[in-house]
C-alpha cells in the first residue's frame, strides 16, 4: 500500500494568513491526489482532486500543486470557516490511502 | 442534490456483528461506485472498502478483509457494510461516500454522509 504523510500535523494561524500544507507519498502517484476538509461532526468535503482541480463550489482561495511524491495545499487568505482538519488522499492505487491530517486552528 | 444518510450504528460487544446502511438520493445510484471510510476517536480518516456501480467488484482494506462485507441494492438506492467479529479497535464513525467516477471507480470521494458511530465494548 502507498503510505501518505502530511506536515505539519497542526498549525495555528490568523484570519487572512496564507497557509500551506504538505503531503508526501511513499512512491510516485502521478498527480492522483485529492484534498478534503473535515470539521467535527460534519461530513468531509472534497476540495481539490488531480492535484490542482478545484471541486465545484470550492472557493478559489484554495489551490493545489505538486508532482511525483510531493504535493501542497495552499489557502491564500485564511477565512473563519476554514478552521478544520485537512486530509490528502492518493487515488493512484487501491486502497486510496489518506494522510494523517493537518489540523488548522485559530491563533 | 446528493444526500447520503448512514444508519445502523450503536454499541456492540466484541465478537458480535452489525450491519450499517447508507440511503442515497439525488443522483443515479446505480451508476456510481460507493465507499465506506471510518474515523476512530481522535484519529484520521481510514478507507474501508469500495464497491463498483453494478456490485460485481469489491475491494477492502487489508485489516478488514474477511471481517467486513460491502454490498449494495441498486433497486433500493442503498449501500451496506456488514461488520463481523468486531474488535474494540473497530470503534469509529463510519462514513459512506460516493465515488466521483461514473461507471468506473476512481477513488475520489465527492459526497459524504454525516456518519454513524459504532462502539465496540463489553
Residue B54 DSSP SS3: coil
Interface test with B, best of A91, A92, A101, A103 (most B CBs within 10 A): A91
CB B112 within 8 A of CB B4: yes
Give the CB-side neighbour count of residue B3, counting CA atoms within 13 A.
5
What's the rounded Cα separation, in Å, for the pair A105 and A13?
6
Question: Distance between CA B22 and CA B34 in Å, rounded?
Answer: 10
Average pLDDT for residues B86-113, to the nearest whole number? Answer: 94
Is the pLDDT at B102 greater than 90, yes or no?
no
A70 in Cβ contact with A5 (< 8 Å): no
Q: Pairing state of beta strands A10-13 and A102-106?
A: parallel
Segment B22-39 mean pLDDT: 97
What is the number of CB-based contacts under 8 A between chain A and chain B? 62
**Lowest mean per-residue pLDDT among A11-20, A28-37, A66-75, B104-113:** B104-113
Does pLDDT of B104 surpass 90? Answer: no
Cis peptide bond upstream of A95, omega within 30:
yes
- Other C-beta atoms within 10 Å of A80: how many? 7
**Residue B11 scores a pLDDT above 90:** yes
Average pLDDT over residues B92-102: 95
pLDDT in tens, A18-63: 999 999 999 999 999 999 999 999 999 999 999 999 999 999 999 9
Are A44 and B59 in contact (CB < 8 Å)?
no
Name the percent of chain B lying above pLDDT 90.
91
Kindly identify which residue of chain B lies nearest to residue A5, measuring between CA atoms: B44
Amino acid at each position: 500500500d502507498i503510505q501518505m504523510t502530511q506536515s505539519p500535523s497542526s498549525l495555528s494561524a490568523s484570519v487572512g494568513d496564507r497557509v500551506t500544507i504538505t503531503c508526501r507519498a511513499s512512491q510516485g502517484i502521478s498527480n492522483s491526489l485529492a484534498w478534503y476538509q473535515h470539521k467535527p461532526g460534519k461530513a468531509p468535503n472534497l476540495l481539490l482532486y488531480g492535484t490542482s482541480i478545484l471541486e465545484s463550489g470550492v472557493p478559489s482561495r484554495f489551490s493545489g500543486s505538486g508532482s511525483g511524491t510531493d504535493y501542497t495545499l495552499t489557502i491564500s487568505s485564511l477565512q473563519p470557516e476554514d478552521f478544520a482538519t485537512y486530509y490528502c488522499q492518493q487515488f493512484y492505487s487501491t486502497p486510496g490511502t489518506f494522510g494523517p491530517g493537518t489540523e488548522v486552528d485559530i491563533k | 442534490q446528493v444526500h447520503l444518510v448512514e444508519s445502523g450504528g450503536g454499541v456492540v460487544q466484541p465478537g458480535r456483528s452489525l450491519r450499517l446502511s447508507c440511503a442515497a438520493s439525488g443522483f443515479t445510484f446505480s451508476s456510481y461506485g460507493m465507499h465506506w471510510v471510518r474515523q476512530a476517536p481522535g484519529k484520521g480518516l481510514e478507507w474501508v472498502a469500495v464497491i463498483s456501480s453494478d456490485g460485481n467488484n469489491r475491494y477492502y482494506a487489508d485489516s478488514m478483509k474477511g471481517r467486513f462485507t460491502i454490498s449494495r441494492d441498486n433497486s433500493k438506492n442503498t449501500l451496506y457494510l456488514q461488520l463481523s467479529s468486531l474488535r474494540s479497535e473497530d470503534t469509529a464513525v463510519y462514513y459512506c461516500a460516493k465515488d466521483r467516477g461514473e461507471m468506473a471507480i476512481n477513488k475520489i470521494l465527492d459526497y459524504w454522509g454525516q456518519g454513524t458511530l459504532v462502539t465496540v465494548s463489553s
